Each structure stands twice: as structure tokens, then as C-alpha cells.
Amino acid sequence: MSAAAQHGTDTELARRVLALADTPADTALAADAGDVVEALLTALERGEIRAAERGFDGVWNAVPWVKRGILLGFRLGRLVDMTVGSGGGKLPFFDKHTYPVQSFTVNRGVRLVPGGSSVRRGAYLASGVVCMPPMYVNVGAWIGTGTMVDSHALVGSCAQIGERVHLSAAAQIGGVLEPVNASPVVIEDDVLVGGNCGVYEGTIVRSRAVLAAGVVLTRGTPVFDLVNERVIRADAERPLEIPSGAVVVPGARQVTKGWGAEQGISLQTPIIVKYRDERTDVATALEGWLR
């Protein structure tokens, strides 16, 4: 399909999604609602549309109509029995019929290692993605080629994960589905996210950054850059943004006033201790051998 034809298809799908999403809550949805949701989820899974996009200026923005379409799917969905297995080996699951787990074939080129992982409908996984059990990818997420989602890792709804990323064991990438125009959580290309890290509330981690094990980033988190002697914060217009190539480790900042200071209390604070160089790259080169 040509770019022009694809754009026209997306425009028509967006129009249909928005018309249905504007249907009052006490009014029945049109008869084609199921077909529209199916078309949206299929386009998401193929990577033809995304819940967030990066502009030419490098700024990431949510695509509100896509998010509204995902929410429409929840409104349309009815609770069904998705139980797996039988007899004593039965695992009970009950969810909206519009959001079952995806079906994969070997032709997708995704390594989905046995052991209890799930990828929900409406998520895009490029060929070459590796999923170590157990892990979970939610609706609207986008994961680029060569990325590894390690054991007990979560990729939340509409999160955008770049190429050649390693989400280490128990890493939590938060989802941002509502409000529909809220900044997405973004992990750009070639980022290493260490074990037990948490990235939430629209935080953006730029390419080649390294988050050491245990780093937690939220919109309200100040990040102390020791290299450039500055404090990086989110503001009313921009999310928290970790610079390209930054190496971030867990740190602490001493409370200097009042009772907290008297008790010697410190607060958790991420710290940029360096920016990636050849030595850092050598230290992370083994990631490629694991794929």
C-alpha cells in the first residue's frame, strides 16, 4: 500500500473511531462498532498506526484518536471466559472479549519463550523481539526489533519501546491510556533498563541511556546530573526526560531541614554519573549475545 493510500485509510479509521467514541454513554453503539475496533487493533498489531509518535523535532506526542479507540474497545467488550486448560490444570481467566491475548505464529519472527508470558491484542512486537517468561505487554504498546523483554517485565498500555532495548528482569514500564492526550512513556533505541527499574507517568528515556538496577523515574522525580551540574525536572509543558547516553544510578539526597534532618533521613534520587563512552559500551556488549 502506498503512503498516500495508507494515510487515507488511517484518516477514515480515525473518523469512524471518533464518531463512535462520541456516542453518549447511555446510547447504544452503532452496529459497526465491533468492526471498527477490530480494524484498529489489527492496525496497531501490524505497526501501521501507533498510540504515540515522534515528530521531526524529536518531541513525542500521544495520538488521541488511537487511545480513544482503545477505550472504545473496553466499552464495547463484554466479559467472557478465557480459561486455559482443563481439569486440575485449568487456569481461570475472565476479561473483555475485545482484548484476548494475541495469537502468534513462527512467521512473526518473535521469540516467545515458553513459561507464562502474555501479549494483549492491539500491541505491536517487531520481528526479532525476545520475550522471556513470564512477561506482559499491554494494549497499544509498540516494541521495536531486537528488543528483549526479560522475565517479570511489564510494558504498559501505549508505552513505546525502541529497537535493541533490554528491559531487564522485573523492569516496569508504566502505561498512559488516560487522559488520551497525556504524554506517553517512551524508551528510545539502544537503551538498557536495569532490573527492578520503574519508568512511569510519561517519562522519556532518550537513546543509548543506561538505567542501573533499581532506578525509579516519575514525573515528580528530580534527576541530578553530576556531569553537567544541573537538576533535570518535568514541568507543566514537558515530561521528565533522561538525556541521550546518560548513565543513571540510584542515589540519595539528604534532608537538610527540620525533624527529617535530625533523624538523618535521605530521599531516593536518581543521579546521572556519566554519559556513555566506549568503556560503557563494552560493558553492555554482552546483551547482543543473549538474543
Domain containing 53 — which CATH number? Answer: 1.10.166.10
pLDDT category of residue 290 using cuts at 50, 70 and 90 = low
| Residues 176 and 158: beta-carbon distance below 8 Å | yes
Residue 159 lies in a domain: no
What's the pLDDT at 86? Answer: 84
Domain with 63, as residue range(s), is 9-22+29-78
Residue 287 lies in a domain: no
Q: What does the mean pLDDT of the chain come to?
A: 92
Whether residue 222 is preceded by a cis peptide bond, meaning omega within 30 degrees of 0, is: no
Domain count, the chain: 1
Whether residue 134 is preceded by a cis peptide bond, meaning omega within 30 degrees of 0, is: yes
To the nearest 10°, report the CA torsion of 149, 155, 159, 160.
Answer: 0
Q: State mean pLDDT over 156-161.
A: 97
Residue 63 lies in a domain: yes
Residue 120 lies in a domain: no
Q: Give the Å distances, CA to CA, from 63 to 8, 17, 54, 58, 182.
A: 16, 12, 10, 15, 9
By C-alpha distance, which of 122, 127, 212, 105 is closest to 166? Answer: 212
Residue 128 lies in a domain: no
In this prediction the pTM is: 0.92
| Residues 193 and 165: beta-carbon distance below 8 Å | yes
Residue 54 lies in a domain: yes
Residue 67 lies in a domain: yes
What's the pLDDT at 280? Answer: 72
Residue 199 lies in a domain: no
